[in-house]
Amino acid sequence: MSFPIHAGQPAQFQADLPQSVDVAIIGGGIIGVMTLWELAKAGVRAVLLEKGRVAGEQSSRNWGWIRAQGRDIAELPIVLEAQAMWPALAKEAGDIGLRQTGTLYLAKTDDEIDRYRDWLDQAAPYQVSSRILTGDQVAAHMPKAARRWAGALYTPADLRAEPWVTVPAFARAAVAAGGTIIEDCAVRLLSLEGGRVTGVITEKGLIRTNAVVLAGGAWSSLLLRRHGVSIPQLSVRATVAQTESLPEIYAGGAVDHKLAWRRREDGGYSLAPSGFHELFVGPDAFRALRGFAPQLIKDPLGTRFLPAAPRGYPDAWGTARRWSGDQISPFEKMRVLDPAPNRAKVAQLAKDFGQTFPDLGTVRIKSAWAGMIDTMPDVVPVVDDCAALPGLSICTGMCGHGFGIGPAMGRIMARLATGKEAGHDLHRFRLSRFSDGSKLTLGPNL
């Protein structure tokens, strides 16, 4: 399997369109796939509908970190459940490169270490494995580093896996358990009767159902807005590079003030700029600017603004906001979001990594790609039933945290879709926080 997964690759999942199901899932990322797997194991008739390729967007383009470290405190119980699930999932799905290798957040200053201590104090009730390392302890972890850090936040229980292998493997396991996946099958609209969901209108026809899970990543807000539900969701471009095979300098994932790196199963490293992303300015960006202002003020240099999204992107100026069930939708016009990486950043990543670890010699980039991360103003997702559209449950805006937490989020969505208790406190992730006058609280800036 090449990575990242793209629209030019052959479809792996084709099936006849069912006339009716118990649950229809929109979106073939890790959360949609895990929702299907959970439902299939419970004997629930469910179909996953993917406009392009399973894991074609952020679920095959992310860093592959499975971390509790630095998570929003409300997310911690969910991600810890997910971490407990991962080994059993890997055993069932096959080799996905799952390794427990730990995560390092490297601190340049004592002020950063103080922020890590504050997070540790808040996380203490959950008995995470995280701890503060001194500068000498960091040096012992990475003795070949030319750079000296003041210390680090270290979580040895954190894991890593290869996303472009993992999500398709989980999808195959979900189908083997009785689920149905149909690629190249965009959901154009929800079918509504009396204001309640009664089905989904796909490009291949109608499927009757009383329960729909929307896990559409960067495309979720476009479908919701078409049905009169507004969420302040934006998508930012994040660039990632893969190095040629190199000696191991650290087996897990690490990040400092310049770059993030993660050891790969193929012997190279995945590299990404630290704290840098790019926002294509479109209609939704103008609508949501006020909500995102606190995030931008807190990190004014972390976002580069670009004048317009490429044609067909969810927030491009020319993307349709209105269409009918018998018209080609924006989801069909852009099967897979496949943004070009920032080449200047790719070159800088190789330079910075080589300067950090000069014993590696010349760092050569084998490939580079980018993904569109769906994000929310407070840097936590929406995970909720949609009161305005009974029968619809939403899980979106994962803010780059979706891969590691995905298995537990899929379990939650399977419960919501079948009328069960979520099993976790979802108050912080409620949809109404953007309309009920609540003050938004930013997630950790670690």
Tens of pLDDT, residues 13-35 = 999 999 999 999 999 999 999 99
How does the average pLDDT of the chain come out, rounded?
95
Domain residue ranges of the chain, discontinuous segments joined by +: 23-434
Residues 330-356: what's their mean pLDDT?
97
Would the pLDDT of 438 be above 70? yes
Would the pLDDT of 283 be above 50? yes
Give the model's pLDDT for residue 302.
66
Would the pLDDT of 430 be above 90? yes
Give the model's pLDDT for residue 299.
66
Site of tokens 């490009």? 203
Would the pLDDT of 297 be above 60? no
CATH among 3.40.50.10260, 3.50.50.60, 3.30.70.260, 3.90.1150.10 for 23-434: 3.50.50.60
- Cβ-Cβ contacts under 8 Å for 231 (sequence gap 6 or more): 220, 221, 224, 376, 382, 396, 397, 431, 434
At 423, the pLDDT band (50, 70, 90 cuts) reads very high
Residues 196-217: what's their mean pLDDT?
98
At 287, the pLDDT band (50, 70, 90 cuts) reads confident
Instruction: Tell me what percent of the residues of the chain surpass a pLDDT of 70.
Output: 97
Would the pLDDT of 301 be above 60? no
Would the pLDDT of 292 be above 80? no
Give the model's pLDDT for residue 220.
98
Would the pLDDT of 293 be above 80? no
Position with higher pLDDT, 295 vs 139:
139
- Among the listed residues 97, 98, 99, 102, the one whose alpha carbon sits nearest the alpha carbon of residue 69: 102
Site of tokens 């493997």? 169
Tens of pLDDT, residues 234-251 = 999 999 999 999 999 999
- Cβ-Cβ contacts under 8 Å for 387 (sequence gap 6 or more): 431, 432
- Among the listed residues 418, 437, 439, 392, the one whose alpha carbon sits nearest the alpha carbon of residue 229: 392
Tens of pLDDT, residues 165-179 = 999 999 999 999 999
At 1, the pLDDT band (50, 70, 90 cuts) reads very low
